[in-house]
Every structure is written in C-alpha cells, then in structure tokens.
Structure 1
Amino acid sequence: MRVLAFVGTRADLFPLGPVLVGLEESADVELHIATAVGFEGGTSREVLLDAGLRRDAHTHHDLGLFLQDSTPVGQGRLGAELSLKFLELVQSIEPDALVVLGDRWELLYAVPSALLMGVRVIHLHGGEVTEGALDERVRHALTKLADQHCVSTAGASRRVEQLGEDPARIHRTGAPGLDRFLEATPLSGSEFEEEFQVPLHRPLIVGTYHPVTAGSEESPGVVARRVFETSLRMAGTLILTNPGFDAGREEILAVLAELKQGKVPNLVIRASLGRTYPRVMATADLMVGNSSSGIIEAASFGLPAVDVGDRQKGRERGTNVIWSADNTADLETAISTALGADFSSRAPYVANPYGDGRAAGRIVQVITGSVDEPMSKVFVDACVGGVQDEQ
C-alpha cells in the first residue's frame, strides 16, 4: 500500500510523528511524506529526522514552498502554488491514501487535489472545536472531504457523526501526539542548563501565543506582549516558542525578537522545542498561552495550564486547565492559582480526555484497512428529538 502524508508545519509534524513512524515500520506500507509552508530553506528533511523518522525508511518530497508572507493574500498566493504542486505529486506517485492531521488552512489546498485524483483521505483530529480560530471551519470542511476519521475524544466522535458521517468510518483512536510522552523523563538541572544555557529556576513556565484568527479586536502583538511580560514576571525561568503560520505571526515574532534582544537572564526563546519538547513538558511547572498543546498534551503530564483568550474556546479540556481573559489582572490571577499548592497538587491526577498515549497503532490499522472500504460515502441523517428527518 502506498501512503502519502502531508505535513505543513512543525506543529503538525510532531503530533503526527508517531503515526509516521508506525507507517515506516509497517511491512505493508510504502511511505511518502510531502512538506511545505512552514519549513524554510530545505530544513524539513532534518526536522523529519528530529521527529523520529528514519532517513532511509520513507520517500521525502520537499515541495519548496515556504510562507514568507503570512497575510491572507500571502496565504492565498502560496496556497495556489501548493494546489498545483501537490496535484502533480499525487499524479506522479499515485498513492492509495492521503493522511492529514488537524485544521491548518493549507490543507484546503492539498486535500482537494487528492480528492480529485480518487485518493482516499484519512483525517486525524476531526470533530474538535476552536471557536477563536479559522481552523474551526477548516477542520469541519476536511471532515466532509475525508473517507476515514481518526478522532481523539468522545465529543469529537459525536460531532463528526453530527456532520453526517457514517459511524463505521469514525474511529476513536486518541491523540497520536500523546504517544511521544509515555517515557518522557524530566530534565535534571545540569541537563537543562546544558540545553538552554541558563540555570533552571522554579517555577519553570513554558509559553506560546498564536494569533487569534476569528473575532479578535486587538493586535496579536499587543496581546502577546502582555502574555509574555506577565508570565516573565511570575516565572523563575520562562521558555517561549514561536507562533504558528497565521496572519499576525510577524507581529508576535517582532515581540519575541525584542525580548530576546533585551537578554533577560531567565528567558529562553526557541523557534521550536522539537525532540526536547516531551522532556521539557515533564520538567515544567506551568504552561501559559493559547496553544492546543496546553489542552491536549499538558494533561498527560499532570501539568497545570492557563489557556488565554478565545482561540481554543470550545475545545474539550481536563481539570488541569484554567481559562483566563487576556488582560493583565486576569492573567496574574490565573497564573497564581495554577502555581498554587492546592491546584498544582491536584493536576497530576487529571484524566486526559484525549487518550492513553497509544493512538498510533490504532491509526495505522485504520490507514492500512482503508483500501478495503468503498470510495462512495453515505450521508447519515441525524435524528432530531428521536425522529428521523425525512424531508
């Protein structure tokens, strides 16, 4: 079976990584991986290896497209190029299935190309809700384009079914990104200092702030500065990572560059934590920001998280997450509460609604079994009030 996976950014790659490794190890699969959008200057090859893939176990297709202009116009222009290049790739390798994860805008340019060529689409992380991001609409659109759905929670499964998808095509596998964390151990003080060139002082806070792409009235740079500066005042050591490839990214990057130039002694700024991410999560005392990681992944470590603003509004979450408005007073209150002895002592016992960290094997089974399923889909009408709508 020939499988093509599309990866747009590091944010997609590392949750998808355990599935790609599982496909590499399957004797029945010839794995191809296409990369574009979020990897500058041919860097994607090394990033794939950093995610745990083997150099000689798959075929890599770098489409040579990097998003330098993250405005809506820039996204649209690059998307048009991606649509053509991805169509040409699908024509050349003739995959049996395309695997995609999540809700990124670039998938609206890649997935239809596969659909037009009669390729089965296996979609991961459908059915979730993020009301403060355009990702919300993209995710549900991809659900209707997909043939098989590997969902992470019971609520996600229910929503995909509400969209008219056949329950036989919906598979509650859990979130594959959690598979990376089963054996993660905390960094010692010396390991931390060797990796980041600063001493580890408690509390260790990890933060990421992404633009709010649906309904925000305030500049993402202004809000990001507020989140970063508040976190910095309350941290012993603060690690910040770059935002995703959304409109407003440059404003946040400018704030990060300014903070980095200030050479604050307890501040670390990285584009991405890459392979060290699981061990940093195991070491941290708190996550702050509006990344999905604070909701999906932090619970696997029993790690308190402060979810800021509306980007992740509506997403299922464990009791380790505190929501905060993006003003300074509420942020200070939420961070103080999350770091407090009472809350931090309860967080390790949270049940993660996104699964048990063994999703990849289940997803690989869905992918390899998809060739036996028909290409035509039945729209399953929902029952309203127990009565089937016959109109």
Structure 2
Amino acid sequence: MRTIAVVTGTRADYGLLRGLLRAIEDDAQLDLRLIVTGTHLSDAFGRTIGEIQSDGFEVAASVPIWSGVDTPLAAAEDIGRALPGYARALVELAPDVVVVLGDRLEAFAAAAAATILSVPVAHIHGGELTEGAMDDALRHSITKMSYLHFTSTADHRRRVIQLGEDPERVFFHGAPIVDILDTFDAMPREELESQFGIRMPDPTALVTFHPAVMDVAPAEQLAEELLEGLLAVEDLHIIITGSNSDIGTEAVRERIARFVAEHAERVDYVESFGQRGYLSAMRWASVVAGNSSSTVLEAPVLGTPSVLVGDRQKGRPIGASVAVPDPTAGAITAAIRGQIAAASGSDGDTPFGTPGFAVRTAATLRDARLPRPPKKTFHDLPEEQHDSH
C-alpha cells in the first residue's frame, strides 16, 4: 500500500483534481490522504470544503493559510505561518508522495514543506508560462522541488526537461480538464438559472477576473476597463464569479461588488458555481471574458468564444477562438461583440492530450520509484554546437 497525499487550496484546483482523487481511491494499492487549505476554508470565498465533503471525500488534514489581508507583506507572512501547518500534516500523515497542482502560493508552500521533510513531490501542470503573474516563478520553483512531473502538453514536458529534470520522471499524461470535458453533462439552462438565482438570456457573458501583480496594468485599472467594456455591449447580460485570494483581490472584489449593485438589472454575481455549474454556465454563455485560465483552456474545448484581458495568461497556448484585445474598454467592447457574432469558439484539436489523465497518473503514482530522500541530479541538455569564433 502506497500513501498518496494530495493538496487542494482552491475551487479551481479541486475541480481538476477530483478525477485523480477518485482514481486513487479506486486503486487497491493506493491510500488517499487529502489535505485541504487555502480558500476552501474561507467563508468569504464560499468555504468550498463543503463541496469536497459532499462529494464523499474524507479530509485528512486542514491547513489554514490566509489571514484575510491581501498585501504582498501579508501574503509572505501567511506563507511563513503556513509552513509549520503543512509540515505537521505531512509528518502526521506520513505519505510516500505529496501531489500538488499548478502555481499558487498554497502549492508552493506545501512543496517547500515536503522538500524540507524529504517527502517526494509530484507536480501537475508544470512547465507552463503565465508571464503576467508571479505564479510563473512559483511554478518553476515547484518544478525544481518536485520529483515526478505530470505536464499538460508535450511542449510543457520539454520545458520541464529544459529546467534540468530527468525525462524518465516527466510524464505527458494530458491535462486533467480533458477527462472532465470528455464526460461532461451540462446542466440544463433552466436548472442552472434556478439553482444559482441567475439569468442567462442571449447574449450572456461569463466573467472571471483575478488580480496579477505583474500584469500589463494595475489590477484595479484592468478590472475597470473590463467592466466598462462589458457594459458598453448593448443588451449583454453579465454573470461575474468570485476572484481568487491573490494579492490585490480586496480592491478588485469591492469594485466588482459596486458594479453588480449599480447594474443589478444586467448583472448577476455567483461567488462559486462549483465545477459542474461553472462549466455549464460556460456552455450556455455567448462569450467568456476575463483573465482566468478557463478563457484559454475550458472555453475553447467547450466551443465557447472567449476574450482574454491582460497578460495573466501570456505564455499559455492561445487558440484561434480566443480574442486578445488591447486592455482598454473600447477594444474589449469590440472584441466581445466580435466573439458573440462568431457564435462558435471550437478549436478542434488541442495540444492537451487525450482522456485518461486520472487513470494514467494514478498508475504512475503507484508504480514509480520514490526514493527517500528524493535525490535528483541535474539533467543537462546535449551541448549545442557553437561556431569557434
């Protein structure tokens, strides 16, 4: 029996991890230990630990991390206080490997604690780029702390190897979202409207915006341009979801709250749809807008045109169905109108692999060699041939 600890810190990463959690539970040789942290434990962000428990997963450990203050100093201090919590959880659970996904501070701190304790780390979604966010540096740091790597595209696998990781420990099993969308059954529009108290006339925009400290402009300015751009589209109904607990989120959330109150006849707000609700809303929306990764991954796969604002996702694969306007209200308005007129956002083939991520990854977690301590050597690429002069 091999014990697998999995860390989840937000509604977004939990949605991507759910299939893997099921696959681990279904494998008689694997023992799941779920560590819940981040906004899952926050009332302000919907306390989504309830969604995890309603799905039938047992929470092995809870690690509070956020103080509720969204300044850079507070975030750094929160991470410092979180490290002992992660460390105690890992010592108590004694996993053979700890699985983290993505690029957020919650994953970074968990990987750091595991590294100090000599627990092997398995990282999902390494090798990607988000040049408008500090997540970029965090993701690559997690890669260097990790022993196993599960990338979402072949190009991302090559990038992880370029960072010095042994190719034998870097696996392209596809993106978790491909599994989800392969079997996705959208809620009927009427059920969605009733359950979440929203309206979805045609046209409707589904909007998610997260602050990013390295974006092309300050988060408040980008949010203002986005909201103004949406409002200028005649007869457009707008559904806005809650922002992540990123640095600067308080000001963005306050601005969005005012916008919702000022334009209640045209705007609905949902803090957290949950995965099926969110994907269903995306399926029925006329356009997806904002700077969430869902604008460049889920929306194209579902066939919904999208508008990406700012640099938060810069560096990710951007399909033809994703419009990337200048971050001004006028350009955003024009892009939204154009995408609504286009009607379909299907990109056809994607670089994100085939269904089966969860099963393939669970099998690798079961069968891979996991030394303690997880010592690594730096994998050098073949030396390039240089002109002698």
Deviations 1:111-152 (A, max 9, x none): 121112221110000000110000000111111110011000
Quick check: 1:232–1:267 contact (8 Å CA) kept in 2?
Answer: no
Shift of 1:211: 0.9
Quick check: 2:108–2:139 contact (8 Å CA) kept in 1?
Answer: no
Quick check: 1:319–1:350 contact (8 Å CA) kept in 2?
Answer: no
Unaligned 5+ runs, structure 1? none
Shift of 1:313: 0.9
- 1:320 is the counterpart of 2:324: no
TM-score between both structures, scaled by the size of structure 1: 0.90
User: In structure 2, what is the equivalent of residue 210 of structure 1?
Assistant: 210
User: In structure 1, what is the equivalent of residue 56 of structure 2?
Assistant: 54
Q: Which amino acid letter does the alignment assign opposite residue 54 of structure 1?
A: G
Deviations 1:182-212 (A, max 9, x none): 2334444422331233442112211111112
- 1:102 is the counterpart of 2:102: yes
Instruction: After TM superposition, list the pairs within 5 Å mapping 1:112-123 onto structure 2.
Output: 112-123=112-123
Q: Distance in 1 between matches of 2:86 and 2:302?
A: 37
Q: Which amino acid letter does the alignment assign opposite residue 114 of structure 1?
A: A
Q: CA 1:258 to 1:352, structure 2 compared with 1: closer, same or farther past 3 Å?
A: same
Deviations 1:233-288 (A, max 9, x none): 42632211111111110011101211232352232111121031222222122111
Quick check: 1:296–1:352 contact (8 Å CA) kept in 2?
Answer: no
Instruction: After TM superposition, list the pairs within 5 Å mapping 1:248-287 onto structure 2.
Output: 248-262=248-262, 264-274=264-274, 275-287=276-288
Aligned residues: 379
Deviations 1:264-320 (A, max 9, x none): 223211112103122222212211111111112112212211111111111112221
Quick check: 1:185–1:282 contact (8 Å CA) kept in 2?
Answer: no
User: In structure 2, what is the equivalent of residue 151 of structure 1?
Assistant: 151
Instruction: After TM superposition, list the pairs within 5 Å mapping 1:1-80 onto structure 2.
Output: 1-38=2-39, 39-40=41-42, 43-49=47-53, 53-55=55-57, 58-80=58-80
Q: Which amino acid letter does the alignment assign opposite residue 49 of structure 2?
A: R
Q: Which amino acid letter does the alignment assign opposite residue 280 of structure 1?
A: A
User: In structure 1, what is the equivalent of residue 368 of structure 2?
Assistant: 370
User: In structure 1, what is the equivalent of residue 350 of structure 2?
Assistant: 352
Deviations 1:304-351 (A, max 9, x none): 11111111111112221111221012112211221223xx34x32432
Q: Distance in 2 between matches of 1:105 and 1:209?
A: 18
Q: Which amino acid letter does the alignment assign opposite residue 368 of structure 1?
A: R
TM-score between both structures, scaled by the size of structure 2: 0.91
Q: Distance in 1 between matches of 2:228 and 2:339?
A: 17
- 1:182 is the counterpart of 2:186: no
User: In structure 2, what is the equivalent of residue 306 of structure 1?
Assistant: 307
Quick check: 2:132–2:312 contact (8 Å CA) kept in 1?
Answer: yes
Quick check: 2:187–2:277 contact (8 Å CA) kept in 1?
Answer: no
Q: Which amino acid letter does the alignment assign opposite residue 366 of structure 2?
A: T
User: In structure 1, what is the equivalent of residue 225 of structure 2?
Assistant: 226
Work out the percentage of aligned pairs sharing the same amino acid.
Answer: 29
Please identify, of 145-154 and 67-76, the stretch whose mean Cα deviation from structure 2 is larger: 67-76
Q: Which amino acid letter does the alignment assign opposite residue 112 of structure 2?
A: P
CA RMSD of aligned residues (A): 2.1
Please identify, of 108-117 and 243-252, the stretch whose mean Cα deviation from structure 2 is larger: 108-117
Please identify, of 119-128 and 366-375, the stretch whose mean Cα deviation from structure 2 is larger: 366-375
Unaligned 5+ runs, structure 2? none
Shift of 1:60: 2.7
